[in-house]
A and B are shown apart, each in its own frame.
Chain A
Amino acid sequence: MTAIAEGARPAVRRPRFMLDRTEFMGPLFIAPAILYVVVLVALPFFLAIYYSVSAYTIFNPSYHFVGLKNLDEVLKSDIFRHTLGNTFFFTIVSQIFGLLLGKVGAMLLIQDFPGRGIARALVVLPWAVPVSLAVLAWKWMFDSLYSVINWTLMAVGLMDPMNPAQWLGTTDLAMAAVITVHAWRLFPFGVVIFLAGLTSVPKEVLDAATVDGAGFWRRNYVIIMPIILPIITIALIFGTVFTFTDLSVVYLLTNGGPVNSTQVLGSLGFQVGVLSGDVSHGAVICLFLFPFLLLATIVLLKVLRKREI
């Protein structure tokens, strides 16, 4: 194959019109993509950093430099510290549930049974459908008066009809509700990733191990897990990033309430930066996502590089 490629090169190198030159056209082909990313991702990012050290608000758009004053004020705020904790808590707990359910789901759906196709299609739904629309269904299911969840719990006698749960109105339950919706949205992603991983494990290897006397758990941890670990890592990174940076679930389900108890970085940043118009403090809050994203990126790069070698 290399021989053919080398053979073809001189033809390309013949002096020709500029547009024929691979050396010239290659960069030209990729330039628009890079330009788009630089202008609308990199530049705004630096603008966000600049906002965070200036006194910029919607009402007084001055780029007056104030240094780390904003950061200091944000760090001193109780709401912010609580919000930061929430963001980690929601992310970690919903990843654990998402992964566990994902693994179990994949082990079920890899079996051949009648109706598997339909089951898979239905399980994928939460992840496919726009989250802002799906959250509305959950909001209705968690309704203070007509919650179907409460109705069911009362019908089977697990809840006192005189004292129905206020899912979105009490701190603990609202946190549980947010985690439920995140885990619900995430686990189908886990299922399909684990499925893809499991199908990539060569059947002969598993059969050979079974013949040699490896049991279910041994096969699971000594053979399957090491093979599928890279893609699980990639899935985990994406899942974590999407949950950690999400704004819409909290914004639509609880709007951060009751009294900021379910606020996450995204929703607080939106509230401060857009609704209250305090852009500089909003920018500081949102930029707290960055160190975390950087870490996720580094891990992802390691996995992707390892795959290349």
Chain B
Amino acid sequence: MASLARRVAGTGSFYSAVAFLVLFAAFPFYWMLITTFKQDGDLYNLESIPYWFNESPTLEHVKYLFTNTLFLRWLGNTALIGVCVVVITLVVSLPAGYSLARMPGRTAENLGIGIFLTYLVPPTLLFLPLSRVISLLGLQDSLWSLVLVYPTFTIPFCTWLLMGFFKSVPREIDEAAIVDGCTMVGAFVKTILPLSVPAILTVVIFAFTLTMQEFVYALTFISSSDQKPITLGVATDLVRGDVYYWGELMGAALIASVPVAIAYNLFLDRFISGITGGAVK
């Protein structure tokens, strides 16, 4: 009997610990969700319980977001930047990763680690000189500046990820193709790339999400509202003077967060094995 009570208490404390953790992690998102659909009168009312709707839910804030702000434009900008950065990243990282995986000796190892380490170089260190480079190129205040600069952190990470993947593809496959008369490029395109679809997909997702998460470069390079990516536009343009339009702000944050959250969750394991450099099998 005593052991049963202990087991029940154990299960109880286990679940309350899990509940605490989940609550701490997810509450801000719940808060975004409920704020988005609350009427203003309900939002700014100190008397009622804030956790739930005290007046009927409304689509007012979401409607305002899509009709009276540049929200759609920012989403479009982010999509455009994301697609361009993904293409640049793939074009540069695929051959680099392949070459590093097949190059003999220590040099490849060192080069690989060297490229990966640049992933540690933060925007905070480079935003001042890069903004000078951007204005020299005449790209200031244009979203193309971000297309140019974002690959500086997607290429290192994705090259490293792809290098790990290509190492797991047996050498015999491309060597057989070369023996059969393919060029090295031909062997890579015809035999290796078709095998790499899962890895390429991972790279696409991560290059895109890393791009979406960036804030510092966008903040430094871009001041025109219609050139801003979603993260910057929401954080800077939806605040007028000192007035925060919380319904619209939370709605925008929520809508922009959902796709990234889903993508991350689906590809989490690959991301982890990338960042730990395959230290975990």
Which residues of A approach B to under 8 Å, CB–CB? 1, 4-5, 8, 11-12, 17, 19-22, 25-27, 29-30, 32-34, 36-37, 40-41, 43-45, 47-48, 51, 101, 104-105, 108-109, 111, 113, 119, 121-141, 143, 145-146, 148, 151, 184, 187-188, 192-193, 196-197, 199-200, 230-231, 234-235, 237-238, 241-242, 245-248, 251-252, 265-266, 269-270, 273-274, 279, 282-283, 286-287, 289-290, 293, 296-297, 300-301, 303-304, 307-308
With A22-B184, A146-B44, A248-B216 as known contacts, state yes or no: A126 contacts B231, CB within 8 Å: no
In contact, A129 and B21 (Cβ under 8 angstroms): no
Question: Does B179 have its Cβ within 8 Å of any Cβ on chain A?
Answer: yes
If over half of A's interface residues share one DSSP class (helix, strand or loop), that class is named, otherwise mixed; here it is helix
- Top 5 nearest A-B pairs (CB, nearest first) are A128-B264, A245-B122, A29-B99, A47-B129, A33-B96
CB within 8 A of A197: which of B113, B115, B280?
B280
Question: How far does the alpha carbon of A286 sit from the alpha carbon of B121 in the complex, in Å?
Answer: 12
Could you list 14 A-B pairs, sorted by A, with CB under 8 Å?
A25-B184, A30-B96, A33-B96, A37-B155, A113-B18, A132-B231, A133-B253, A247-B216, A266-B216, A269-B124, A274-B127, A279-B128, A286-B127, A289-B124
- What 0/1 pattern do residues 24 to 49 of B give for CB contact below 8 A with A? 11101101100100000001101000
Q: A26-B99, A193-B276, A300-B117 are in contact. Are A274 and B128 (CB under 8 A)?
A: yes
Q: Looking at the complex, which one of B31, B122, B184 makes contact with A141 (CB distance below 8 Å)?
A: B31
State whether A148 touches B120 (Cβ < 8 A).
no
Q: Are A41 and B265 in contact (CB under 8 A)?
A: no
A130 touches B231 (CB 8 A): yes
Cβ–Cβ contact B99 & A293, under 8 A: no
Query: Is there an interface contact between A126 and B25, defined as CB atoms closer than 8 Å?
Result: yes
Residues of B within 8 A of A127 (CB): 264
In the complex, the number of residue pairs spanning A and B with C-beta atoms less than 8 Å apart equals 294
CA A251 to CA B209, docked complex, whole Å = 21
Interface string of B133-151 (1 = CB under 8 A from A): 1000000000000001101
Report B-chain residues with C-beta under 8 Å of the C-beta of A130: 212-213, 215, 231, 256-257, 260
Stretch at the interface among B56-64, B65-73, B243-251: B243-251
Complex interface: chain B residues within 8 A of A138 (CB): 28
Dominant secondary structure of chain B at its interface with chain A: helix
Q: Is the pair A184, B24 in contact by a Cβ cutoff of 8 Å?
A: yes
Please tell me which one of the listed residues A27, A111, A134, A247 contacts residue B124 in the complex, with CB atoms under 8 A apart: A247
The answer to whether the Cβ of B87 comes within 8 Å of any Cβ in the partner chain is no
Is the Cβ of A104 less than 8 Å from the Cβ of B21? Answer: yes
Task: Name 15 extra pairs, CB < 8 A, besides A33-B155, A41-B126, A128-B263.
Answer: A17-B183, A20-B183, A26-B103, A45-B125, A51-B129, A104-B17, A113-B15, A125-B26, A130-B213, A133-B253, A136-B234, A234-B276, A245-B125, A265-B124, A293-B122
CB distance from A103 to the nearest CB of B (A): 12
Chain B residue with minimal CB distance to A101?
Answer: B21
The reply to whether A5 and B50 contact each other, CB–CB distance below 8 Å, is no
Contact B120 A32 (CB under 8 A): no
